[in-house]
Structures are given as structure tokens and as C-alpha cells.
Chains A and B, each alone.
Chain A
Amino acid sequence: GENVEQHPSTLSVQEGDSAVIKCTYSDSASNYFPWYKQELGKRPQLIIDIRSNVGEKKDQRIAVTLNKTAKHFSLHITETQPEDSAVYFCAATTGNQFYFGTGTSLTVIP
């Protein structure tokens, strides 16, 4: 089955700096890669996703890049704000089952 690895597990940045979270996957058939943000005690919320036919996608301060050859994808958050502090999960899927990374706890220091 698919194996998704996520790094780093924790990340602290100063407000206004950029944050980058990286994930690798093992199954070359994976074709959909969502990113979820989970605040403490709350549900995972989809923040951005990318499909395998696209190399990059941007939505305001958030961008995701995908390198299918290397089987890795990354989340980029620019101009970070304190409300960006949360746990971020990447996921990969070839079909029904989403395989999640272990999460990155992001802290934005005011």
C-alpha cells in the first residue's frame, strides 16, 4: 500500500516568514494530494489540493507543488500569521483510501 512520510514534525517560524512542509509518497499511482489543517480539538479542514496532472497550485498565501518523478509534494505558506498555527496533514490517494502523513505542528510566533 501507499506510504506517506511528512517532515518536519514540528515547525516554528516568526510571523511574516514562510513555512514549508514536505511529504513523500511511495505509490506512483497516487493521483490526488490534499492538504488539511487541523486546529486543536477540531476537524481536519481541506486548505488546498493538487492533482497529478498539475505541478503547482496557489491560493493566496498558500501554494502546493508536486514532483511526480521524485514522488514528493510540498506545502508553502507565505507571510505567516498567528492564526496559521495548527497541525497540517498531507495525504495521497489512488482511489478510495486517503493515506495521511503524520502531521506537522506549525507554530507562528508573533
Chain B
Amino acid sequence: NAGVMQNPRHLVRRRGQEARLRCSPMKGHSHVYWYRQLPEEGLKFMVYLQKENIIDESGMPKERFSAEFPKEGPSILRIQQVVRGDSAAYFCASSLTGTSLDTQYFGPGTRLTVL
């Protein structure tokens, strides 16, 4: 009974490079959420996706960040031209129905370090 999977667990990039973070939801879940956690801070919502659709991206920076959840394969959070301020832990979560009565289960996170 695999939980939410994320890879890589740790990612180091130099300024200006691209970072690609992957998230595979729990089996049977088709709703994926991405959160960012800065050191010593709480979790900040970035984007909510269903298969092939972005439902709510109100927490995503307007530039350099994009997310997708294709029909097949994991959800991808892409950060282009990374800057030092992008260094954070990025968590994805998944839920079964996507309603407010449904729990979100978190993956182990990807810790991005930008040099």
C-alpha cells in the first residue's frame, strides 16, 4: 500500500538551471496538491491539479513555475531559471475526492538547494 511518492528527495541546482520535481499520488488518488515549505516556516499552497487539469494555481508564482499532471505518469512541478530564493522543501499531497471532506496525504518532500 504505497503512499505518496516524490523524487528526487534531494535536488541541487545552480542558479539559472531548471528543477523538475515529481510526485506520484497514492493509488486510486487523482487529486494532487503542491506545497512549498521554507526553512522554519509552515506549508504554503502552490497548486492543485487533477489529471490533465490545473484546478487552482493561485499560490504559484506567475513566472518560472509551472505544474502538470498528465493522463499517464507523475505530476511534475517545474521551476525554470532557479534562484537562491527557490531553495525550500517542496511537498506534494494527494487526496481521493478533492473535496473539503477529504484528507490530504503528504509525500516525503523534495529538498531543493540552489547554489
Binding site for B on A (CB under 8 A): 6, 31-32, 34, 36, 42-46, 49, 51, 89, 93-103
Contacts and interface: CB of A to CB of B under 8 A. Distances in A.
B56 A97 contact: yes
B42 to A, nearest CB: 4
Given A94-B100, A96-B33, A43 B108 contact: yes
A54 to B, nearest CB: 12
Most chain B CB inside 10 Å of its own CB: which residue of A44, A46, A89 = A44
A94 B100 CA distance: 6
Given A43-B107, A43-B109, A46-B105, A96 B44 contact: no
Contact of A97 (B42, B59, B106, B108): B59
Contact of B101 (A31, A42, A43, A102): A31
Contacts of B44: 100
Interface of B: 4, 31, 33, 35, 41-45, 48, 55-56, 58-59, 91, 93, 98-101, 103-109
Nearest to A92: B100
A102 B41 CA distance: 6
Nearest to A51: B101
Nearest to B58: A97
